[in-house]
Amino acid sequence: MKNMKTRLIVGLDLPDRTTAEKLVTTLGDSVSFYKIGYQLAFVGGLELARDLLKEGKNVFLDMKLLDIDNTVASGVENIAHMGVTMLTLHAYPKAMRAAVEAAKDSGLCLLGVTVLTSMDDADLRETGYAEGAEALVLRRVAQARDAGMGGVVCSAQEAQKVRALVGSDMAIVTPGIRPAGSAAGDQKRVMTPADAIRAGSSHLVVARPITQAPDPRAVAEAIIAEMRSAIV
């Protein structure tokens, strides 16, 4: 946990590969881990992922896979061959079990997405869930643990209870991280970097507070310093 540089994941939620490459250049050696999701994946993001891996960076593919078991397994096998570090899928038990079998011996860390940090209890009720966010997160975390997943994605607000449930081995990756004074945007369950680390998060995903900053490198370095301060 002490090497916080490897625990900060910068979300490349940007409109095109050129913009993403400029940010990576600006951040330089201050950042070693990047997330590539839907927005960038379809405009050269997968090719960029391969280039980042060649440069020695870690890559988190945020694909949130969910499909029939065979399709999930086939997709996971191909992604594992890319050599990326982390991959997300929605935390449905059958999908997770298929993914774990497909990724066996590959070194790929599979993450089960529990409840999106842009959703709260009211959103879940509208969707048809009887459970609130925390209860649903904990149920899906237990299912991810039992399926043999490498970790989960949840809000840092649930990280302490999640850590108690999974122990020290599983990764707890938390989006919705906002340094003090940052706008929450469309995130509803947010936390500061230091508080998230204290709560038990292993990795923090930060996008807009860095990507939209006048000096992205300074912000990234400040976040890493705040993360380190939490474990003094």
The CATH number of whichever domain residue 58 belongs to comes to 3.20.20.70
Half-sphere exposure of residue 94, counting CA atoms within 13 Å on the CB side? 6
- Confidence category of residue 1, pLDDT binned at 50, 70, 90: very low
* The one catalytic residue among 51, 67, 121, 123: 67
217 annotated as ligand-binding: no
Rounded (to 5) percent helix, strand, coil in the chain: 50, 15, 35
Neighbour-count burial of 159, counting CB atoms closer than 10 A to its CB (0-12 exposed, 13-18 middle, 19+ buried): buried
Instruction: Report CA-CA distances (Å) from 40 to 61, 81, 86, 96.
Output: 10, 20, 16, 24
pTM of the model: 0.92
**Residue 15, SS3?**
coil
Question: 31 with 52: CB under 8 angstroms?
Answer: no
Residue 35 counted as an annotated binding residue? yes
Active site residue 29: no
Residue 62 is among the residues annotated as catalytic for this protein = yes
54 annotated as belonging to a binding site for a ligand: no
146-197: per-residue pLDDT in tens? Answer: 999 999 999 888 999 999 999 999 999 999 898 765 654 554 556 899 999 9
64 flagged as catalytic: yes
CA distance 186 to 199: 22
**Residue 7 in marked binding region:** no
Q: For the chain, what is the domain count?
A: 1
d(CA 195, CA 202): 12
Q: Domain containing 177: what range?
A: 4-229
**Model pLDDT for residues 59-118, shown as the tens digit of each residue:** 999 999 999 999 999 999 999 999 999 999 999 999 999 999 999 999 999 999 999 888
| Lookup: tokens for 44 | 């050269």
